[in-house]
Amino acid sequence: MFWRLEYFFLCFAVLGLFAAPISCAEKRSGIVYTRDQLMALRPPSFVVGEKPQIPKEVRRKQRGTKAGVKQRMKRQRFKPCVPAVITGNVRSLANKMDELEALTRTQREYREASIMCFTETWLHGLIPDSNVTIAGFTTVRADRDTTAAGKKKGGGLAVFVSNRWCSPEHIHVKERVCSPDVELIAIGLRPYYLPREFTNVIAITVYIPPTGKADSACDVIHSVTADLQTKHPGAFILITGKSDHNLVLLSPSYTPVVQQQPVTVRTVMKWSDGAMDCLRDALETTNWSALCEPHGEDLDGLTDCVSDYIKFCTENSVPTKKVRCYPNNKPWVTSDLKALLNKKKRAFTAGDPAELRSVQKELKRSLKESKDAYRKKLEERLERNQTRDVWSGMRTITGFQKKGIRSADGNVDQANELNQFFNRLWDWVEQSRNAEQFPAGRSDRERLTGDEADDVAEQTGDEQQRSWGQAEKSGPVSRKQKLDEALVDMIVKDGQPFSIIEDEGFQNFIKILDPSYSIPSRKTVKAMVEARYTVAKEKALAESRN
């Protein structure tokens, strides 16, 4: 038994000596497989670039209605209602471009800003546009004109418009001003999205140098803004300027009109030839005598009965439909125009430029025709003296809403207290002014000017006659009364019109002659002349009787 075990181990050792060189050789050479051989070992379950075929029973279901919101928001274009603006005084823009690029890449406020307006850029013709360009923004420069501004360096304006908010093709410079008092640039923008109540956006950037005159600068800004408002009445105009070397973010908080007011549903009648024939048959087959006889001579009751019956026949004969009216709809927008607007949206979404251009031309023509038709409609209503319909259309155009106007908080007592408080201040100012103009000792009648003099002129004829008739008996007459009597004598004897007291030359003559004299109003002079006529008439009648 023992020799058998020794024989087994000896055979195993011999076999190991012969097999060792073979395994080492194979290990040194190695086994090499190609890529196709490895891929052929086990075919993949799906090919890259193709949609895998997943059975319905193992397909993952959506988790509620909000699944995929983040992905959809990433795909959607940034659409603020009104532009978000970043403005500031940078004092040399060229050496701050690296910082601005870093801010637009890392901070959401800068990346989603619609417009960035900077003053004092200190740019000139030797600095190319490539040095002041930010990825994703269009640069509009307004370098200082050294000849017009009278300065060799400094100043300058720059506006960066986000390409996500507005296409570079829809950016136009409307106005540019460079003077010693102000530097201004106005840019017209037509963004991808804008509320319907606005036609376009006009961004005005202003810089007033420290040595500039504020009054002249304000006049220039006002004239430019007024001109742009006249040319573009429906534009959203924003004005930015200096911000003391700090970047300021102006976040939009505007709510579109379509969200401010609820949608109203109106019921309108669909008039057609069949509806007219049906209504005509209903009125022709009516026994009018049966409706009129019960009322007899009661015209009001007869009118109400006939009106209600006609309304009843109209409601039963003419079909109706409900129309949703949005608060931002213009009165000249028709159903055909809405169809063209939807067609334009579809062409823009599909990315077909040829179709979009053709639809835009057709939309422009239809819009002009709709406005002309609405204008003619208003003119016809004016010619027919339908003022109610005209004012209704004007309220619709201007957006006037009579109902739903909220009154100020408070009560009548609070309003009276405020009135008394402000009147107390005004009375103190008037007393101080009168004390300076009229020294002590003058009568109250000398201080009557303007409306108070008109109130005195409202006296009755008897009071005027008594005041004029007793002038000699009442003692010494004041200088004011003597001048008033002389003025009346001039008008009566020379036949002068009452308008002479309103002539500028006559008023200047009186001021030079007597600066303290207050010329009575035209109404007061007329009352004085009438009183003088009454006194003279009674005097003449009394003398004739004697």
Q: What is the DSSP string of 373-397?
A: HHHHHHHHHHHTT-HHHHHHHHHHH
Residues 335 and 293 in one domain: no
Looking at the domain assignment, is residue 351 inside a domain? yes
Flag whether pLDDT at 178 surpasses 90.
yes
Average pLDDT score over residue span 153-177? 92
Instruction: Kindly report which listed range (54-63, 340-349, 382-391) carries the lowest average pLDDT score.
Output: 54-63
For 258, the enclosing helix (H) or strand (E) is helix 257-260
Q: Give per-residue pLDDT as tens, 405-457.
A: 455 556 667 767 766 665 554 555 455 555 554 444 444 444 444 444 444 44
Looking at the domain assignment, is residue 411 inside a domain? no
Looking at the domain assignment, is residue 404 inside a domain? no
Instruction: Kindly report which listed range (115-129, 330-344, 503-517) carries the lowest average pLDDT score.
Output: 503-517
- What's the pLDDT score for residue 255? 82
pLDDT band at 114 (very low <50, low <70, confident <90, very high): very high
Flag whether pLDDT at 458 surpasses 60.
no
Residues 285 and 247 in one domain: no
Average pLDDT score over residue span 213-222? 90
Residues 216 and 84 in one domain: yes
Q: What is the pTM of this model?
A: 0.51
- What's the pLDDT score for residue 454? 44
Residues 503 and 376 in one domain: no
Q: Are 396 and 388 in contact (CB under 8 A)?
A: no
pLDDT band at 24 (very low <50, low <70, confident <90, very high): very low
Flag whether pLDDT at 93 surpasses 60.
yes
- What's the pLDDT score for residue 247? 85
> What total of structural domains would you count in the chain?
4
Residues 217 and 275 in one domain: no
Residues 320 and 337 in one domain: no
Angle at CA of residue 62, ends 57 and 66, nearest 5° = 175
DSSP state of 438: S
Domain end among 253, 275, 297: 253
> Tokens representing 442?
């003058």
Residue that wins the pLDDT comparison between 540 and 167: 167
> Tokens representing 350?
């599909």
* 530 backbone φψ class: left, alpha, beta (φ>0; ψ -120 to 50): alpha
Flag whether pLDDT at 464 surpasses 80.
no
Sign, CA dihedral 359-365-371-374, equals negative
**Contacts of residue 481, Cβ cutoff 8 Å, sequence gap at least 6:** 445, 471
Q: Residue 392: phi, psi to the nearest 5?
A: -65, -40
Looking at the domain assignment, is residue 475 inside a domain? no
Q: What percent of the chain has pLDDT over 90?
A: 17
Domain end among 190, 223, 253: 253
Residues 310 and 338 in one domain: no
For 189, the enclosing helix (H) or strand (E) is strand 183-189
Owning domain of residue 338: 330-384
- Block residue for tokens 């100043």: 155
pLDDT band at 538 (very low <50, low <70, confident <90, very high): confident
pLDDT band at 26 (very low <50, low <70, confident <90, very high): very low
- What is the spatial distance between Cα 26 and Cα 24, in angstroms, rounded to a whole number? 5
Q: What is the CATH number of the domain that holds 183?
A: 3.60.10.10
Q: Of the segments 5-9, 37-41, 87-91, 465-469, which one has the largest average pLDDT value?
A: 87-91
- What's the pLDDT score for residue 53? 66
Average pLDDT score over residue span 73-93? 78
Instruction: Kindly report which listed range (194-208, 349-363, 377-391, 478-492) carries the lowest average pLDDT score.
Output: 377-391
Instruction: Kindly report which listed range (342-351, 395-404, 459-468) carries the lowest average pLDDT score.
Output: 459-468
Q: Give per-residue pLDDT as tens, 296-321.
A: 778 888 888 888 888 888 888 888 88
Looking at the domain assignment, is residue 81 inside a domain? yes
Residues 112 and 126 in one domain: yes
Instruction: Kindly report which listed range (79-88, 151-160, 510-519, 533-542) carries the lowest average pLDDT score.
Output: 533-542
- Of the candidates 113, 121, 117, the one whose C-alpha atom is nearest the C-alpha of residue 95 is 121
- Of the candidates 168, 198, 164, 161, the one whose C-alpha atom is nearest the C-alpha of residue 82 is 198
Flag whether pLDDT at 234 surpasses 50.
yes
pLDDT band at 27 (very low <50, low <70, confident <90, very high): very low
> Tokens representing 98?
């690296």
Residues 244 and 357 in one domain: no
Residues 369 and 309 in one domain: no
Domain end among 253, 274, 294: 253
Sign, CA dihedral 29-35-36-41, equals positive
- What's the pLDDT score for residue 440? 45
Flag whether pLDDT at 42 surpasses 60.
no
> Tokens representing 520?
């009575």
Q: Give the strand pairing for 85-89 and 115-119.
A: parallel
Looking at the domain assignment, is residue 168 inside a domain? yes
By three-state DSSP, how is residue 176 classified?
strand
Flag whether pLDDT at 216 surpasses 80.
yes
Average pLDDT score, the chain: 76
- What's the pLDDT score for residue 460? 38
- What's the pLDDT score for residue 479? 75
Looking at the domain assignment, is residue 303 inside a domain? yes
Residues 309 and 367 in one domain: no
- What is the spatial distance between Cα 439 and Cα 437, in angstroms, rounded to a whole number? 7
Flag whether pLDDT at 337 surpasses 90.
no
- What's the pLDDT score for residue 254? 83
Q: What percent of the chain has pLDDT over 70?
A: 69
- What's the pLDDT score for residue 168? 92
Looking at the domain assignment, is residue 219 inside a domain? yes
Average pLDDT score over residue span 77-93? 83
Q: Give per-residue pLDDT as tens, 262-281.
A: 888 888 888 888 888 888 88
To the nearest 10 degrees (0 to 180), the angle between helices 353-383 and 387-398 is 140
Report the C-alpha dihedral over residues 479, 481, 485, 488, rounded to 10 degrees: 120
Residues 310 and 244 in one domain: no
Q: Of the segments 229-238, 375-384, 449-458, 489-498, which one has the largest average pLDDT value?
A: 229-238
Flag whether pLDDT at 186 surpasses 70.
yes
Residue that wins the pLDDT comparison between 263 and 467: 263
**Contacts of residue 501, Cβ cutoff 8 Å, sequence gap at least 6:** 487, 507, 519, 520, 521, 522, 525
- What is the spatial distance between Cα 320 and Cα 322, in angstroms, rounded to a whole number? 7
- What is the spatial distance between Cα 174 and Cα 224, in angstroms, rounded to a whole number? 10
> Tokens representing 70?
């983040």
